[in-house]
Structure 1
Amino acid sequence: MERWLQALQQTLAHGDAVVLVTVARTEGSAPRDAGTKMVVTRDTVSDTIGGGHLEFKAIEVARQVLREGGRGPTEVNRRLERFSLGPSLGQCCGGAVMLAFERLTIADLGWVKTLARRMTAGQATVRSVAFDSTLPVMLSDPEPGCESPDCLLWTGDASGPLLTETLVVDTFPVVLFGAGHVGAALIEILRTLRCTIRWVDERDAQFPKLDLARFPTLTIDANDAPEAAVDEAPAGTYFLVMTHSHALDQSLTERILRRADYAYFGLIGSHTKRKQFEHRLAARGIDPHQIARMICPIGVPGITDKSPEVIAVAVAAQMLQVVDSRVSHARPVTA
Structure 2
Amino acid sequence: MIWLSRIPELLANGPLVLVSVAGVRGSAPREPGASMLVGQDFTADTIGGGHLEWQAIAEARLLLQAEACQPLLRRYPLAASLGQCCGGVVWLAFEVLHAGQLPVWQAVSQRHREGLPQVRQLDGRAPASSWPESRGEGRLDLPATEDGPDWCLWQPLQPPRFCLSVYGAGHVGAALVNLLAPLEMRLRWCDPRAELMVRAPASVECCVMETPEEVVAQASAHSAHVVLTHEHALDLRLAEAILRRDDFRWFGLIGSQSKRTRFRQQLAARGIAPGQIERMICPIGVTGIRDKAPQAIAIAVATQVLQLREISIPA
Gap change, CA 1:57 and 1:306, over 3 Å in 2: same
The aligned residue for residue 313 of structure 1 is 299
Gap change, CA 1:177 and 1:97, over 3 Å in 2: same
The aligned residue for residue 18 of structure 2 is 20
Gap change, CA 1:24 and 1:273, over 3 Å in 2: same
TM-score scaled by length of structure 1: 0.76
Matches of 1:291 and 1:92, distance apart in 2? 51
Deviation (angstroms), 1:55: 0.7
Gap change, CA 1:232 and 1:154, over 3 Å in 2: same
Residue in structure 1 matching 2:139, options 146, 152, 156: 152
Deviation (angstroms), 1:20: 1.6
Matches of 1:239 and 1:221, distance apart in 2? 16
Deviation (angstroms), 1:24: 0.7
The aligned residue for residue 162 of structure 1 is 152
Q: Unmatched 5+ residue regions in structure 1?
A: 202-206
- Equivalenced residue count is 309
Q: Unmatched 5+ residue regions in structure 2?
A: none
Deviation (angstroms), 1:35: 0.8
- Confirm or deny that 1:85 pairs with 2:78: yes
Deviations 1:28-61 (A, max 9, x none): 3322221111122333322211212111111122
The aligned residue for residue 58 of structure 2 is 60
For residue 78 of structure 2, what is the amino acid of its counterpart?
Answer: L
- Confirm or deny that 1:304 pairs with 2:290: yes
Gap change, CA 1:7 and 1:198, over 3 Å in 2: closer
Contact 2:23-2:92 at 8 Å conserved across structures = yes
Contact 2:60-2:94 at 8 Å conserved across structures = yes
The aligned residue for residue 4 of structure 1 is 3
For residue 105 of structure 2, what is the amino acid of its counterpart?
Answer: V
Matches of 1:261 and 1:46, distance apart in 2? 35
For residue 320 of structure 1, what is the amino acid of its counterpart?
Answer: L
Higher mean C-alpha displacement, 103-112 vs 50-59:
103-112
Q: How do 1:190-209 residues align onto structure 2 when only pairs under 5 Å count?
A: 190-193=180-183, 194-200=185-191, 207=193, 209=195
Higher mean C-alpha displacement, 94-103 vs 310-319:
94-103
TM-score scaled by length of structure 2: 0.80
Deviations 1:184-227 (A, max 9, x none): 433443455544424235xxxxx48447154553535354x423
Gap change, CA 1:300 and 1:155, over 3 Å in 2: same
The aligned residue for residue 138 of structure 1 is 130
The aligned residue for residue 215 of structure 2 is 229
Q: How do 1:1-335 residues align onto structure 2 when only pairs under 5 Å count?
A: 2-5=1-4, 7-10=6-9, 12-14=11-13, 16-68=14-66, 70=68, 77-106=70-99, 108-109=101-102, 111-131=104-124, 133-134=125-126, 136-143=128-135, 151-155=138-142, 160-170=150-160, 173-193=163-183, 194-200=185-191, 207=193, 209-210=195-196, 212-216=198-202, 217-219=204-206, 221=208, 223=210, 225-243=211-229, 246=232, 249-274=235-260, 277=263, 284=271, 286=273, 288=275, 290-328=276-314
Matches of 2:239 and 2:186, distance apart in 1? 22
- With CA pairs under 8 Å and 6+ residues apart, which has the higher RCO, 1 or 2? 2
Gap change, CA 1:141 and 1:241, over 3 Å in 2: same
Deviation (angstroms), 1:303: 1.8
Deviations 1:89-131 (A, max 9, x none): 3334443321112234345446434433433444322111122
Matches of 2:22 and 2:123, distance apart in 1? 12
Contact 1:124-1:142 at 8 Å conserved across structures = no
Structural RMSD (CA) = 3.4
For residue 200 of structure 1, what is the amino acid of its counterpart?
Answer: D
DSSP 3-state at the match of 2:313:
helix
Matches of 1:247 and 1:113, distance apart in 2? 39
